[in-house]
Structure 1
Amino acid sequence: MKFKSLFTATALAACAALTPVAQASYVLTFQGVTFTMDVVDANSLSLRIQNALSTTDADWAPATHFGAFSLKDLGLDFSVGNATAVATYFGINPNPTANGVRDDLNANGINDGADCEAQTNGQTGSVCFDFDPDVLLLDDMNFQIDFSQNYTIGANGPHLKVAFVDSQGDKVGSLLSQNLPFTASSTSSSGLASSSGDIPEPSSSGLALLGLGLVGASFALRRKSHQQ
């Protein structure tokens, strides 16, 4: 009876690890660069930027670094005193972070170290992240944004603004300011936009767990037969 309970619990745990989670994706390709935003959970989003370094578009091609980005149309209320937002870039070790401020990017006011300046009057309804130092531009860049409150993506999708800069922190080309259109509700075992190759996918973990359970069951049966 103990063996049966153990096997059942192991199988259930493996199935739970294999169960996919619904995930909404918002994708925009603009000037040769693809921006993908995925829902991670009720208060986290992931942002993936692809082909930013290799784009041949004359507007952004001279860029060497990623300066800042802002998000709005998420139903966030940053007038609340303890509201926080943190963006983490996964690309180098240690992973750099940027604390969000209640602000928006302005195409005419971008300069190194002052891309985002907290608004003191009124509520902008947006949150801005400024990485200091600027992040070296790559063709595949992954960020996770964690809010202290739940968000609600508007019907037109999240509005994203991105500033690409040169090695001096000066804006290169035009400021991206676009809604990311809803693309699909996909399924993902992890709920993340992308997974590091160093971390096993949950589906692989589930199969490994199931395999360990079956090996244990085999030993238990063999031991029981010897005892009889």
Structure 2
Amino acid sequence: MSKFIRLIAATLLTAAAASSHAGYTHTTQGVSFTYEGVDANTFTLRIQNALDATGNWATATHLGYLGFKGLGNLNAVTAVNVNVTPAPGSSILWTYVHGELTGAGCNSNANSNSICLDATPDLLLTNDLLFTIDLLGNGVDISNATAPLLKASFTVWQDATRNKPAGYTTAGSLLEQTLAPTAVDNGRLPEPASLALACLALAGATAARRRIRG
């Protein structure tokens, strides 16, 4: 293989690797959940179509809890920052514990290697919620997560108050699911911007080779 071909191959491989993030997804009862790793401490979770949920989630109006496991050394987490897009109409306080999410809420367990997040008050659902979650602490590294397990608990509020009313209940079953790799992650498809850079590199290398020959 010539130096020219090796250069192009290396450029394309670098672009593909740089653009590929770990993506995992699951759809159930009409609701889609998509996890994507961002860096060693940060990931995103996208929840879509929650207001159009079917089955025993059909009455859900809010999200009360999220739980995560299988991301890496979560026992090292000392703080969690949660950002939600679109921003909630009212302030949401997110607290976390080392432990599992159960039907009764967050169950503290310091050795569980899992994280449970509690929204206070519960987060009002929309059909497209994007969570950006930063896990802080020495030794935290989620970049090699290969089988993220997601738990989620939806709730029903019978009125529009920002305090849990008398009619507050859990909506249907607790989600507990190991997410599957997305098609993009399986194929390691580079993003359009990375492909454009690779094409520019190819064009530049071709032009340089022609000048040398000329």
Q: Deviations over 1:173-215 (max 9, x none)?
A: 000000011113254589xxxxxxxxxxxx9xxxxxxxxxxxx
1:129 to 79, 93, 117: 117
- What aligned pairs does 1:196-207 form with structure 2 within 5 A after superposition? none
2:60 to 58, 63, 67: 63
1:40 maps to what in 2?
Answer: 38
Q: Work out whether residues 48 and 143 of structure 1, in 8 Å CA contact, stay in contact via their aligned partners in 2.
A: yes
How much has 1:24 moved relative to structure 2? 1.9
2:199 maps to what in 1?
Answer: none
Cα distance in structure 2, aligned partners of 1:135 and 1:84: 20
Choose between structure 1 and 2: higher strand proportion: 2
Cα distance in structure 2, aligned partners of 1:127 and 1:117: 10
The amino acid of 1:177's aligned partner reads E
Aligned residues: 161
Q: Work out whether residues 92 and 121 of structure 2, in 8 Å CA contact, stay in contact via their aligned partners in 1.
A: no
How much has 1:105 moved relative to structure 2? 0.8
How much has 1:104 moved relative to structure 2? 1.1
How much has 1:153 moved relative to structure 2? 4.8
1:116 maps to what in 2?
Answer: 106
Q: TM-score, normalised by structure 1?
A: 0.63
Cα distance in structure 2, aligned partners of 1:164 and 1:158: 19
1:101 to 97, 101, 119: 97
The amino acid of 2:169's aligned partner reads D
Cα distance in structure 1, aligned partners of 2:173 and 2:26: 16
2:142 maps to what in 1?
Answer: 151
Cα distance in structure 1, aligned partners of 2:33 and 2:171: 17
Cα distance in structure 1, aligned partners of 2:123 and 2:38: 23
Stretches of structure 2 that go unaligned for 5 or more consecutive residues are 1-16, 158-163, 197-214
Q: Deviations over 1:21-59 (max 9, x none)?
A: 32121011111100001111111000000001012x131
Identity level (%): 33
The amino acid of 1:138's aligned partner reads T
1:52 to 50, 53, 56: 50
3-state SS of 1:124 partner: coil
3-state SS of 1:135 partner: strand
- What aligned pairs does 1:184-203 form with structure 2 within 5 A after superposition? 184-185=184-185, 186-188=189-191
- Superposition misfits of 4+ residues, deviation over 6 angstroms: none
Cα distance in structure 1, aligned partners of 2:169 and 2:190: 39
Distance 1:103 1:22, change over 3 A: same
3-state SS of 1:116 partner: strand
1:162 maps to what in 2?
Answer: 152
1:181 maps to what in 2?
Answer: 180
3-state SS of 2:106 partner: coil
The amino acid of 2:59's aligned partner reads P
Cα distance in structure 1, aligned partners of 2:191 and 2:122: 31
3-state SS of 1:141 partner: strand
1:72 maps to what in 2?
Answer: 69
Choose between structure 1 and 2: higher helix proportion: 2
3-state SS of 1:105 partner: strand
The amino acid of 1:116's aligned partner reads C
